[in-house]
Amino acid sequence: MLVTERGGQLKRVSADGAAVSAPISGMPAVDSGGQGGLLDVAVAADFATSRRVYLSFAEAGSGAEAGRNGTAVGTGVLNAGFTALSGWTVLFRQTPKVAGTQNHYGGRLVLSGDGHLFVTLGERSISSERGRAQDLSAGHGKVMRIRATDGGAPGDNPFVSTSGAQATIWSYGHRNPQGAALHPTTGELWTSEHGPQGGDEVNRTLPGRNYGWPLVSYGCEYGTPVGNCTPVGGASTGAGFEPPLTWWVPTSIAPSGMAFYTGDRFPEWKGNLFVGSLAGKALWRITLNGNAVASREALFTSLNERIRDVRQGPDGWLYVLTDNTSGRIVRIVR
C-alpha cells in the first residue's frame, strides 16, 4: 500500500501491515499549512510494468504568485524498490492560486480507465473566493477531467468549446469535494463533498452539471443556530442545479474518501457505497436502489477515529485509513 502524509511524505506499507518504509525520495515540495500538504495518490492500471503513480498536493506559488497557493497534480515513476520517485512532472495546476487561505484544496484523484484522470478541487473556503465555484473561468469548486499523459483537456469535456471556460472542467458548483469513486456498473463518477454547517453531500457527478454552491445549499453559515437557520444561498435546491443523492443535516460529518464494494467477502454489502467521515468519526454504509439512496448507517463508531479514506483491497476486505495523531490502516474482516 502507498500512503501519503500531510508533511509531504509518501510511504510504502507492506501488504500484511507489519512494515512501514522510510519516506520515498523524489517528492514535490508541498505547502503543508492548514489543510494543505501531500494529498491523494493514485496508481496507474499498468503499474506492474509502468511503475507510474499520480499525486495531488497543495502547491505554494512563486514569482508573481508568491504568497498564494493552490492544488496541483503530478506524476512520476516509482522504482522497483519503492524507495525513489523519478521523472517527476506537474500535469495540472488549479488556477488562479489564491492568498489568505490554506483550506479547501479538494485533491481527490480517480483514474477513469480510458486514459483520463478526474481531479476534485475545493473553492478555497474564504468568502471572497467561494463564488468562483460558479465561474467557469476559474478552477475553484470544480471537478476536472484531464488527460493522464499530459494534463490536457480531453476533446469531449463539456466546456471544451465554451469561450472563456477552463477546458478541463467536468462539473462545477462544488464546495470541497474530498471523496470520489467510479460506479462499478455505469462507470459514472460519484463524489462526496463538505458542506458548511451541515449540508455534506454525495453526488452523481455528471458532465457539465452545476451542483449549486454557493447559490444553493443544505447547509448554513457557521455560527448560525443549529437546526434553525437559513441555508447558504437562501434555498436548498433550484432550477438548473443538480441535487445531491443524500445529505447530512443539521451538522456535518465531513465526508472523505469513498469506495463502492464489489467483493465477495461481504456478499450482503455488494453494491454498497462506503464513505469515510472526519468529524463524524465513522464509516458510512449507503445502500442503493439504482441511483437512489435506499438507506444509510454509520459503522465502526467505536474506533473513535477520523476516517480519511476507504478502499477495497485486492483480497476483498475493506481497508480504512485514519488520520489521527497516530493514524493507522484498519482492515475490516469477518
Catalytic residue set? 104
Q: Is the dihedral of CA 287, 252, 211, 179 positive or negative?
A: negative
273-277 sheet: strands from edge to edge: 255-260, 273-277, 282-289, 292-299
Expressed in angstroms, the distance from the first to the final Cα of the chain is 21
The three cell numbers of residue 235 are 434555498
Other CB atoms within 10 Å distance of the CB of residue 186: 11
Report yes or no: 280 and 253 within 8 Å, Cβ to Cβ: yes
What is residue 197's three-state secondary structure? strand
R_g of the chain computed on alpha carbons: 19
What Å distances lie between residue 317 and 17, 88, 228, CA to CA?
14, 32, 41
What is residue 257's three-state secondary structure? strand
